[in-house]
Structure 1
């Protein structure tokens, strides 16, 4: 073996990775969980309600399960340095419970309207019931409230000594299996949990009018938060060492891991500078081409749908070189350069059927950086 290096075997890999995860398991009463939430010793991320869309019927079924002593899945939490619990899996279950008892607060810290139950097959009398109701017949009795608060839920705690990436990885695995969340919706939740100020920053950028005028996508893609994914692609391409791209098996993995790296790498002090470059990039593109900014140019005109490949090369290239372009290059020169972009061999080779996503990301990013560099 060269230099004594030896490939790690399966058992060693299991031992090595499992040693990075520290966890405890408890059973806790709902009353105890309510107190933790009221005392702000638990963060359940009310902003997640945008992506975890439980209906009133789903919420009612959870309350029914608790009242009928039907087991519900464990809640996974991570413990931060202050001892506060960050909910990894169980946001909707806990927010439903807290909404039902009238203590759940939204992002602005205001109490959410208490849950009104629907009738169910097993408990038709649930119809119109509330925890507290002016109509006494539609309010839980003291006995029912005590039974509800004494019901117990299994809590799995990922302790703060664990590998810092464990929370991210665990959330991703627990919240993609049976859900309908898009990759970017999961990524949004991970950003909120890991670095909320960064999430707020990119969410501000993605609302830029010029960006939205240039990026014309389907309603379904809008709903799946694809514009935010495009923004992350741009910021990641601007900051990462492109040679590292080959370490990733697919683009989803690259975006997930490099989003984590991005949050560590970019300080709040850099936000204003990034925002200025971003605003200038899309103000320029919108002024020159508008919704044609990322449509293919051929046969003397722009045509077809929005192209991710065009965005990857053109947006990244202009963003990387925006200071010189914005200051010294005419709109006419930029437009002619964009038209030429589609004729390059690199663009053609990376947009043929069957080209792989990670090499395409890398090659189109490099092409854009070099192609729109007017200082060479």
Structure 2
């Protein structure tokens, strides 16, 4: 197919509209529940007080701000695809922003800026007139306009997810998994909470031993997702993907949209696996083995997780038939140690290894080594 044919075909799947709207109109839409900014996203988007104040300052000064992107749902409600933090900042300042439990956030206070130092301590409206915007300033603020780009409901349903990823990948500081979490909330909120519970499972956290920074970036959820994906998919499905992150996102979306994916069964396998690993290897589960010092050491290693975690998970029914005693602990430890003398494993764990060559070797190897 020629490039122009591909362009023409895809363009037919996208229906858009756009026009400027006043901040007052957007406030009314939000109050009437006609604009969904997904309050669950708040944990992933983190603006500082200075960033929030600069946005309000820009509006007060009449400086144009970037447009927001929304997707029209079947019920007519607009899903915010890009611009959540800008709208949240405005709604928080005005004193109407709700959290995921429908509670109102306390109205925000501004801080001083280079151009408007008198913003220090100012609020939208307060009994303390000196620290509030004036009635005239509030009216001018609500009359300022923001461009709204609308993906209409007639568009391909996957367009808004593609748009969300593209818009929120450019210039954002969100991790891959934080972006996936936002996508999940848009696609299937129950699946997100299911995955969140897996990532917070204590024996699992004991085994992976991540830093607070990694946890804050939701890396524990990414590891839980990797476990589910690589235990269930055909490794050959990765062919054609240039980046592993894209493969993980696509498979996550497939599972979240599937009517046959058995969450309860997968949850039980996950818990059984990490209960077993926590009792046998604990925080040594995914570390490098040093034969000279005769011990596991260092930090969490993804390659060990891919081999040991998925290897045990794929055979957990057999392992659960065994009684966990010192002999079994020693057996599991020896199997984990054997990875570090296996040339097939060592050849594919270097930083230069491509996931398309690494995973097809490491995952089957782990399943073989940890078959009781």
TM-score, normalising length: structure 1: 0.91
Equivalent pair of 2:22/2:143 in contact (CA under 8 Å): yes
1:29-60 deviations in Å (ceiling 9; x for gaps): 11111111111112112222222111112111
1:95-151 deviations in Å (ceiling 9; x for gaps): 111111111011211100001122223323222221111112222222222211121
Q: 3-state DSSP class of the match of 2:321?
A: helix
* 2:141 corresponds to: 148
**How many angstroms apart in 2 are the aligned matches of 1:328 and 1:179?**
48
**Alignment match of 2:342 (pick from 344, 353, 356):** 344
**Alignment match of 1:320 (pick from 314, 323, 333):** 314
Alpha-carbon distance, 1:237 to partner: 0.8
* 1:296 corresponds to: 288
Q: 3-state DSSP class of the match of 2:56?
A: helix
Seen in structure 2, the aligned counterparts of structure 1 residues 121 and 296 have a Cα distance that, compared at 3 Å, is: closer
* 2:275 corresponds to: 283
Matching of residue 162 in structure 1 with residue 155 in structure 2:
yes
Alpha-carbon distance, 1:255 to partner: 1.4
Seen in structure 2, the aligned counterparts of structure 1 residues 363 and 21 have a Cα distance that, compared at 3 Å, is: farther
Matching of residue 371 in structure 1 with residue 369 in structure 2:
yes
Seen in structure 2, the aligned counterparts of structure 1 residues 136 and 56 have a Cα distance that, compared at 3 Å, is: same
Structure 1 stretches of 4+ moved >6 Å? none
Q: 3-state DSSP class of the match of 1:247?
A: coil
Q: 3-state DSSP class of the match of 1:275?
A: helix
**RMSD over aligned Cα atoms:** 1.9
Seen in structure 2, the aligned counterparts of structure 1 residues 267 and 30 have a Cα distance that, compared at 3 Å, is: farther
Matching of residue 182 in structure 1 with residue 175 in structure 2:
yes
Equivalent pair of 1:281/1:315 in contact (CA under 8 Å): yes
**How many angstroms apart in 2 are the aligned matches of 1:147 and 1:298?**
67
* 1:5 corresponds to: none
Seen in structure 2, the aligned counterparts of structure 1 residues 19 and 359 have a Cα distance that, compared at 3 Å, is: farther
**Alignment match of 2:333 (pick from 328, 332, 335):** 335
* 1:116 corresponds to: 109
Equivalent pair of 1:245/1:359 in contact (CA under 8 Å): no
**How many angstroms apart in 2 are the aligned matches of 1:359 and 1:16?**
34
TM-score, normalising length: structure 2: 0.92
**How many angstroms apart in 2 are the aligned matches of 1:47 and 1:353?**
35
Q: 3-state DSSP class of the match of 1:157?
A: strand
**How many angstroms apart in 2 are the aligned matches of 1:313 and 1:266?**
29
Q: 3-state DSSP class of the match of 1:108?
A: coil
Seen in structure 2, the aligned counterparts of structure 1 residues 346 and 264 have a Cα distance that, compared at 3 Å, is: farther
Moved more, 270-279 or 226-235: 270-279
**Alignment match of 1:85 (pick from 78, 82, 97):** 78
**How many angstroms apart in 2 are the aligned matches of 1:259 and 1:346?**
29
**How many angstroms apart in 2 are the aligned matches of 1:74 and 1:345?**
54
**How many angstroms apart in 2 are the aligned matches of 1:48 and 1:275?**
24
**How many angstroms apart in 1 are the aligned matches of 2:323 and 2:153?**
51
Alpha-carbon distance, 1:239 to partner: 2.4
Seen in structure 2, the aligned counterparts of structure 1 residues 361 and 67 have a Cα distance that, compared at 3 Å, is: same
Equivalent pair of 2:187/2:257 in contact (CA under 8 Å): no
Moved more, 120-129 or 302-311: 120-129
Matching of residue 137 in structure 1 with residue 130 in structure 2:
yes
1:1-376 matches, within 5 Å, as 8-265=1-258, 270-299=262-291, 300-328=294-322, 331-332=328-329, 333-374=331-372
Q: 3-state DSSP class of the match of 1:14?
A: helix
Seen in structure 2, the aligned counterparts of structure 1 residues 319 and 266 have a Cα distance that, compared at 3 Å, is: farther
Alpha-carbon distance, 1:339 to partner: 2.8
Q: 3-state DSSP class of the match of 2:169?
A: coil
Seen in structure 2, the aligned counterparts of structure 1 residues 236 and 218 have a Cα distance that, compared at 3 Å, is: same
| Number of aligned residue pairs | 366
**How many angstroms apart in 2 are the aligned matches of 1:290 and 1:69?**
57
For structure 1, list consecutive stretches of 5 or more residues without a partner in the other structure. Answer: 1-7
Equivalent pair of 1:347/1:364 in contact (CA under 8 Å): yes
Equivalent pair of 1:239/1:262 in contact (CA under 8 Å): no
